[in-house]
Amino acid sequence: MNAPVRDPSSIGERLSATGTANALEMRGVSKFFGALGAMQDINLTVRPGERHAVLGSNGAGKTTLFNCVTGDFPVSGGSIRFFGEDITQFPPHERIRRGLRRTYQISLLFTGLSVLDNVYLAATGVSRSRFSFFRPRRNDALMASAENLVRVVHLEDAKDAIVAELSYGQQRQLEIAMALAGAPRFILFDEPAAGLSPTERSELVEILLGLPGHMGFIIIEHDMDVALRVAERVTMMHNGRVFKEGNPAEIEDDEEVQALYLGGAHG
């Protein structure tokens, strides 16, 4: 429904998209800002439903990776396939309508609108009533799903509050609710735990672990406790390249990773 078939010849491709194809497949993706290689020759494969963590120091290219996947930045080279479909040249909104979602490291919310309105906008963005001239009715399905998402992230008490009045932690929760709107297939979480209190962190882990099994995600996270608890696979990035890949236990025990994280002099 949110992935309109444009060309009959691509139906085969789309059918395969729901079946065996990988959720995300990056082949040789690079991003240069002028001469600066923010991301070079990235190969990354995430299976449907897989929970994947991307670790790395500041400037390792993690957020650039997200921006290339969502289309916020055009890539300098390589290809990105989303459930089998080549989305490398798609504008952001087309990728989102195919079931991709993201949260932002620095919250990008509509601060003048209420919590519910923010989530409602997110739910409407991937629906057919984007251009509707009619206000939602009392039993509106999108509004109902928005209210439901507000409950999922424990914001029901603040649903009519203006976003600018929310605490930082609540704004982060709202970010997640907006990413969950409209049946996502795959979500990119950009440092969702940054700036949260320990209590809020465990709430976040609970929300992430509680996501439906088919909903894969990539999480960028500095907090190893959060990242390694929710992820099944971990990719370590360093200076714009993939440095290590493995399961959480392997990464945790890896000496090179420990050197980078504990004794790491690389900014």
Partner 1 sequence: MASTDDQSTERANAGESPTWVERIPAAYWALIVVLLIMPAIAGDFILYQIFGWTFILGMIALSLMFLAGYGGMVSLVQMTIASVAGYMTAIFGVSAIETISLGWPWYVTIPLALIVAMIFGTISGWLAVRTEGIYTIMITLAIAAAWFYFTNQNYTIFNGFSGFNGILPPQLFGVDWRGPVAFYYLTLFWATVAFLVVLYLSRAPFGLTLQGVRDNPRRMAALGYNVTAHRVAAYTFASLLAGVGGILLTWQSAQISPGTAGIGPVIDVLVIAVIGGLRHPIGPFIGAFIYVILKTFALDALVAVDLSGERFQLLIGIGFLVIVFWSPDGILGLWSKFRAARNKDPLLDRGGDAS
Q: Is residue 145 within a helix (H) or strand (E), and if so which, with residue range?
A: helix 141-152
- Sketch the per residue contact string, 14 through 53, with partner 1: x for CB under 8 A, - otherwise: ----------------------------------------
Shortest Å, Cβ 198 to partner 1: 29
Q: At 41, which amino acid appears?
A: D
Task: Record the tokens describing residue 183, joined without a space.
Answer: 């049946």
Q: Which of 149, 178, 205, 211 binds partner 1 (CB under 8 A)?
A: 178
Per the CB < 8 A criterion, the answer to whether 115 and 165 are in contact is no
> What is the pairing mode between strands 233-238 and 51-55?
parallel
The span of 37-45, 117-125, 198-206, 208-216 binding partner 1 (CB under 8 A) equals: 117-125
Instruction: Tell me: does residue 124 bind partner 1 (CB under 8 A).
Output: yes
Three-state SS letters, 13-60: HHHHHHCCCCCEEEEEEEEEECCEEEEEEEEEEECCCCEEEEECCCCC
Three-class SS state of 245 = strand
Determine, following the binding rule CB under 8 A, whether residue 182 of this chain makes contact with partner 1: yes
Q: Smaller CB distance to partner 1: residue 57 or 107?
A: 107
Among positions 49, 59, 125, 246, the unique one binding partner 1 when judged by CB under 8 A = 125
**List 133, 198, 199, 265, residue binding partner 1 (CB under 8 A):** 133
**Which residues, in sequence order, are bridge partners of residue 100?**
186
92 binds partner 1 (CB under 8 A): yes
68 closest CA partner among 99, 41, 107: 41
Which CB, 1 or 265, lies closer to partner 1?
1
Stretch that binds partner 1, among 12-20, 119-127, 197-205, 243-251 (CB under 8 A): 119-127
| Single-letter amino acid code for the residue at 34 | G
User: Which residues contact partner 1 by CB under 8 A?
Assistant: 2, 70, 72, 91-93, 96-97, 102, 104, 108-114, 117, 120-122, 124-126, 129-136, 160, 162, 178, 181-182
